[in-house]
Chains A and B, each alone.
Chain A
């Protein structure tokens, strides 16, 4: 790992230099909200933000992505033959992502990059991307990353982690990808003595976190007991079954594949899907194994807080970014649900008297 100091003038010049070799993405403010977008030439990422409304997961997992194209025009020789769609996988860098969002991509990677199955669309985009993080000194009251296996200075999944020191940024370079980006940007002012600044700032940021969850009992609680717990109707009642929580969640990865045809030309595309949507599990017979709202809501929380925990042993499928908490139209709060799940004891369990 290398430590660099980047003064802010040099930051701007460096990004301009990097833009010749990378497509740059970063948070920009539009209307009242920040969101991650491709930065046109000369536009700087706006790093004065708390957390974006949508996570940058769409940079590797777009909401709608064309996978294959085809023609139904029988006068063409290649009619009805699927061809891989052209997607730009030239080097690119996302600048200013939060540690929570970076860790989320690593959790999602467990799904798209397995020993048996590799999703080429996700992986090509992932491999083309350099992840440059900005440590978070302003956690919101709804952020609970430190108790969700993450933290405001967490480096997991990042090629570079930066922190803001006023006149300068301090940057830790972790990977070859990160080094290549810093070299391209011309950032090379090493500062070996500044390592403790990260430690102090990390502690200060963590001390600002006011929100926590407990997850210690989730792995040991019986899956079917939790599935049959009595609180699901109560949790699900207010739910609108909109997909807001799943769309804003950086770790939700579900998608649907659709063919769309206009005239004689067609595409096969993948679109974000959501376990909140009634159609999500409908079989071709018309049978829907998750026919009720309660079943769908239970699925989302069981997936995040139990199935994932059991399957991967890497903790919960949540990084504590708080987006679903802030944006749920009816205030269903994953922290409250996690508390209910984590403290759940089946009715017939023997509790030691003491």
Chain B
């Protein structure tokens, strides 16, 4: 994946040069180790700023919502599924997009690596399979598979599901992945344990809404927590208001979430809100046989009625 950058610049230069698109959305190198910044380029001279490595975890579909230009966008497996969502939900038109597919072997988890070394990380270098981390005192070499974001470690759609051209040949998909071991553990808890679990899970939340805003699915013109006429949810740090935000946001993503991990990656306090969305993803699979963002031709599970939909919850 570290070899993609040159190819991406070549593609971006070509598309801007022959006026096939007005802008290319990708990443530029970050100012901190393990950080890249989503960016756009609009002329071939800016193309050398584009980069790609294992720090491109923010979902670029998030930057397409309601845009009017003709856009080329680099899309990992998860980004491509969110682009499908966007097209299906009329947030962008298919013919506005030139999707450059990026076969992905996973993004690294900055927080996890930071927790595994002593001292401030000053630099990282990566190869195809390894990440080398330098602090003032030491260098540590990690196997990339050990330090992936959890959603990437559990990913079963590494290759884009929709694209106009590809940066490289598809990578092997992971098989025999148990995506829901941790969700099942929570399902088995009694209600008191569950209450405590979610209390602990959400207690660090500072209500910055980075999770919502990093999520390509969260594009309501006014979010229910921002609605003020009438106001639905208190704006303070009351735990009930905090939980209401997280639970309702998760429900709003049911049948739409692709587990891209952008929410968790963006959270400044490290909350694993994917536990909520993956429970809903699991339910959608078990009850409707539905996986989000795989096809432009199917309506999302909660958007359509079928005669074999489960109905036993209606008493």
| Residues in chain B near residue A277, CB distance under 8 A | 209, 226
Size of A's binding interface in residues, CB under 8 A:
41
Interface stretch, picked from A2-10, A69-77, A81-89, A322-330, is: A322-330
Q: Given A258-B236, A330-B58, does the pair A336, B31 have CB atoms closer than 8 Å?
A: yes
| Residues in chain B near residue A271, CB distance under 8 A | 235-237
Closest CB-CB distance, A321 to chain B, in whole Å? Answer: 14
Asked if A282 CB lies within 8 Å of chain B CBs, one says: yes
Cα A325 to Cα B268 with chains together (Å): 12
Interface majority SS (helix, strand, loop, mixed), chain A: loop
> B237 contacts A238, CB within 8 Å?
no
Q: Given A140-B120, A242-B209, A329-B210, does the pair A237, B63 have CB atoms closer than 8 Å?
A: yes
> B236 contacts A242, CB within 8 Å?
no
Cα A80 to Cα B284 with chains together (Å): 49
Query: Which residue of B30, B37, B208, B234 contacts A244 across the interface (Cβ within 8 Å)?
Result: B208
Asked if B172 CB lies within 8 Å of chain A CBs, one says: no
Cα A269 to Cα B237 with chains together (Å): 11
Smallest Cβ-Cβ distance to B226: which chain A residue: A279
> A32 contacts B270, CB within 8 Å?
yes
Taking CB atoms and an 8 Å cut-off, the chain A residues in 141-178 that contact chain B are: 141-142
> B266 contacts A258, CB within 8 Å?
no
Asked if B265 CB lies within 8 Å of chain A CBs, one says: yes
Asked if A36 CB lies within 8 Å of chain B CBs, one says: no
| Residues in chain A near residue B237, CB distance under 8 A | 63-64, 271
Cα A336 to Cα B122 with chains together (Å): 18
Asked if B213 CB lies within 8 Å of chain A CBs, one says: yes
Q: Given A32-B115, A241-B213, A243-B209, does the pair A50, B120 have CB atoms closer than 8 Å?
A: yes
Asked if B141 CB lies within 8 Å of chain A CBs, one says: no
| Residues in chain A near residue B117, CB distance under 8 A | none
Cα A191 to Cα B66 with chains together (Å): 67
Cα A54 to Cα B31 with chains together (Å): 21
Taking CB atoms and an 8 Å cut-off, the chain A residues in 104-127 that contact chain B are: none
Q: Given A63-B206, A237-B40, A329-B265, does the pair A242, B35 have CB atoms closer than 8 Å?
A: no
Size of B's binding interface in residues, CB under 8 A:
41
> B226 contacts A242, CB within 8 Å?
no
Asked if B19 CB lies within 8 Å of chain A CBs, one says: no
> A258 contacts B235, CB within 8 Å?
yes
- Over the window 51-66 of chain B, the binary record of Cβ atoms lying under 8 Å from chain A Cβ atoms (1 yes, 0 no) is 0000000100011000
| Residues in chain A near residue B37, CB distance under 8 A | 238, 330-332
> B269 contacts A278, CB within 8 Å?
no
- Over the window 25-53 of chain B, the binary record of Cβ atoms lying under 8 Å from chain A Cβ atoms (1 yes, 0 no) is 00000111001111110000000000000
Q: Given A63-B206, A260-B234, A329-B210, does the pair A242, B266 have CB atoms closer than 8 Å?
A: yes
Q: Given A237-B63, A243-B209, does the pair A335, B268 have CB atoms closer than 8 Å?
A: no
Query: Which residue of A50, A279, A326, A329 contacts B266 across the interface (Cβ within 8 Å)?
Result: A329
| Residues in chain A near residue B236, CB distance under 8 A | 63-64, 258, 260, 269, 271
Cα A277 to Cα B222 with chains together (Å): 11
Query: Which residue of A63, A140, A243, A258 contacts B234 across the interface (Cβ within 8 Å)?
Result: A258
Smallest Cβ-Cβ distance to B270: which chain A residue: A32
Centre residue among A63, A140, A271, A330 by max chain B CB count within 10 A: A330
Smallest Cβ-Cβ distance to A293: which chain B residue: B213
Cα A278 to Cα B223 with chains together (Å): 10
Cα A64 to Cα B114 with chains together (Å): 31
> A237 contacts B32, CB within 8 Å?
no
Smallest Cβ-Cβ distance to A54: which chain B residue: B206
Query: Which residue of A50, A64, A140, A237 contacts B238 across the interface (Cβ within 8 Å)?
Result: A64
Asked if A247 CB lies within 8 Å of chain B CBs, one says: yes
Asked if A310 CB lies within 8 Å of chain B CBs, one says: no
> A244 contacts B210, CB within 8 Å?
yes
Cα A317 to Cα B267 with chains together (Å): 25
Closest CB-CB distance, A183 to chain B, in whole Å? Answer: 36
| Residues in chain B near residue A258, CB distance under 8 A | 231, 234-236
> A242 contacts B38, CB within 8 Å?
no
Q: Given A237-B40, A242-B208, A330-B58, does the pair A53, B234 have CB atoms closer than 8 Å?
A: no
> A325 contacts B31, CB within 8 Å?
yes
> A237 contacts B208, CB within 8 Å?
no
Closest CB-CB distance, B163 to chain A, in whole Å? Answer: 23
| Residues in chain A near residue B238, CB distance under 8 A | 64
| Residues in chain B near residue A325, CB distance under 8 A | 31-32
Q: List 6 A-B contacts (CB under 8 A).
A: A234-B39, A238-B39, A240-B266, A243-B210, A247-B268, A331-B35
